[in-house]
Amino acid sequence: MIELNSPAYRKATFALSFGSFLVFCNLYLFQPMLPVFANTFDVTATKVNWLLAASTLGLSVSLLPWAMLSEKIGRRDVMLTSLVLIPLVSIASLWAESFWTLVLLRGLMGIALAGYAAVAVAYIAEEFSPMALVMAVGGYISANSIGGISGRLAGGFLSDAFGWHGAVIGMTAFTVLGIGFVYALLPSQQHFSASNTSFRAQFSTIRSHLTNPLLLLAMMIGGINFAIFVNIYSVTAFRLVDAPFNLPVSLVSTIFICYLAGTLTSKLSGRWANRHSVFSGLLLGTGITMLGVLVASVDAISMVIVGLLIVGGGAFFTHSLAYGWVSRKAQQGKATATALYLVHYYVGGSLGGFYLIGCWEYGRWPLVTLGAMSLAAVNVLLIHLLGVREKTQTPSVVEPTIVK
C-alpha cells in the first residue's frame, strides 16, 4: 500500500492531482464565456446554460459505464484513455457552426472527462493505506478546485484576447502536454483485481448502493451542495456583466479565483474527518455556504467577492466529506459507489443551473438568494437524516482508526 508522506505517495498524488487538474480545466473552460456565447448565438441566459449543462450531464450519465469498465480492465487504463479523448473532442468543437452542434460536442466532452472522474477515487481507495486515503482524497479534490479556477480564468482571458476558438486551442495544447506527465508519473496498480462478475451483477451492485441510506443520502447531499455552489458562480457572471456593474468577461472570470477557498477547505476536511464527526462537518460546511449566499446578496463588488469566497469554502468542505464518506462506506464496488456519488453531484449541478439561472431571469438576485437558501435548507434536513441512519444502523465492518 502507498503510505502517507512516502516518495510513492508524493509521486502518485501529484499524478492524480494533475490529471484531475486537466479534467476540470476542460470541464469549466466554457463557464465564464456563457455571456459571450449568449451574444454570439443570440440565445437567452437559460438556453446558453446548455453549454455547461451538456458537459456535466454527459459526464454524469457516463460515469457508471466507465466505472463498470474499470472493474474489468483496471482504473489506470480507464483514466489514461479518458485523458486522451479530451483533446480529440476539443479539436472537433472548433468546427462547430451552430449552437446545438456545440452543445452536442460539449456533451461528448463530458463523456470523455467522466472516465477519469469516475475511477480516480477508487484507485486511491485501493492503492493507498487507510491513513493516506483521506489526505489523498482531500488533495485530489483540491486539484479539482484549482483546475476549475484555471479553466475558467483561461476561458475568460483567452476569449477576450483571441475569441472562444483561441481559448479552446490554448487549452487543447496544454492538455496534450499534461497527458504526457500523467502517463509517466501515475504508478501501475498493485492491488487491483479484475472483477469476474457479469454486468448484470454489477447492476445488482448499483441497486444495492442506491438502496443503502448511508450512501444514497450522502449522494443527494453532494448533488444539492453542487447545485448551489457552481451555479451561484454562473449567475454571478451574468450579474457582473449586466448593469450596474458592466464588467468585461475577462475581469468577471477572476471571480473564480474565489475557488481557492475551496482548495484550502478540501485539505482541512481530511483533518476534520480524522478528528471530529463527519455530520458536524457537513452541517458546518452547509452553514458556511448559506452565510456566503447571504453576504453575496449585498449589492457591492467587494461583498460579492467575500460572499463567493465563503460559498466556495463551505461547498468544497461539504463535498470532500460527503465524497470521502461514500468511498469509505461502500463495502464492495467502490468505483461504482464513487461514480454514483458523482452522478448525483453533476446532475445536481446541471439541473441547479436551470433552476438558479431561471431565478435570475425572473427575479434577479433576490430570487436567486431565496432559491439557493431553500436548497441549503433541504441539505440540512438530509444531513440530519444521515446522522440518524448512522446511529441506528450497525456497520458491518469497523472503520480504521486514524492516528494523527
Type of residue found at 212: N
Residue with cell 431553500: 374
DSSP annotation of 341 reads H
104: number of Cβ within 10 Å: 17
Alpha-carbon distances, residue 394 vs 206, 280, 397 (angstroms): 21, 20, 9
DSSP annotation of 398 reads P
For residue 128, which phi and psi values (nearest 5 degrees)?
-105, 145
Written as nine digits, the cell of 1 is 500500500
Taking the C-alpha atoms of residue 388 and residue 366, their distance in angstroms, rounded to an integer, is 34
Taking the C-alpha atoms of residue 48 and residue 100, their distance in angstroms, rounded to an integer, is 10
DSSP three-state, residue 192: coil
Distance of CA 291 to the CA centre of its chain: 21
Divide the 404 residues of the chain into consecutive groups of 10 and give the mean pLDDT of each group. 85 93 95 89 90 92 87 90 97 94 96 92 86 82 84 92 94 96 89 72 81 89 93 90 86 87 79 79 94 93 94 91 82 76 88 91 93 96 89 53 31
DSSP three-state, residue 2: strand
Give the torsion through C-alpha atoms of 35, 39, 45, 47, to 10 deg: -120
Written as nine digits, the cell of 264 is 484550502
Taking the C-alpha atoms of residue 222 and residue 87, their distance in angstroms, rounded to an integer, is 29
**What are the beta bridge partners of residue 268?**
none
Q: Are 365 and 242 in contact (CB under 8 A)?
A: no
**H-only helix segments in 242-300:** 249-252, 260-275, 278-296
Q: Is the peptide bond before 248 cis (omega within 30 degrees of 0)?
A: no
Q: How large is the greatest C-alpha to C-alpha distance in the chain, in angstroms? A: 61
pLDDT of residue 213: 87
Q: Is 394 left (phi over 0), alpha (psi -120 to 50) or beta?
A: beta
pLDDT of residue 6: 87
Taking the C-alpha atoms of residue 225 and residue 220, their distance in angstroms, rounded to an integer, is 8
Q: Are 85 and 209 in contact (CB under 8 A)?
A: no
DSSP three-state, residue 128: strand
DSSP annotation of 142 reads H
Q: Are 27 and 151 in contact (CB under 8 A)?
A: yes
Host H or E run for residue 320 = helix 301-329
Q: Which of 11, 331, 19 is nearest to 2 (CA)?
A: 11
Distance of CA 337 to the CA centre of its chain: 15
Type of residue found at 195: S
pLDDT of residue 197: 66
Domains detected in the chain = 7-184+201-392 (1.20.1250.20)
pLDDT of residue 391: 80
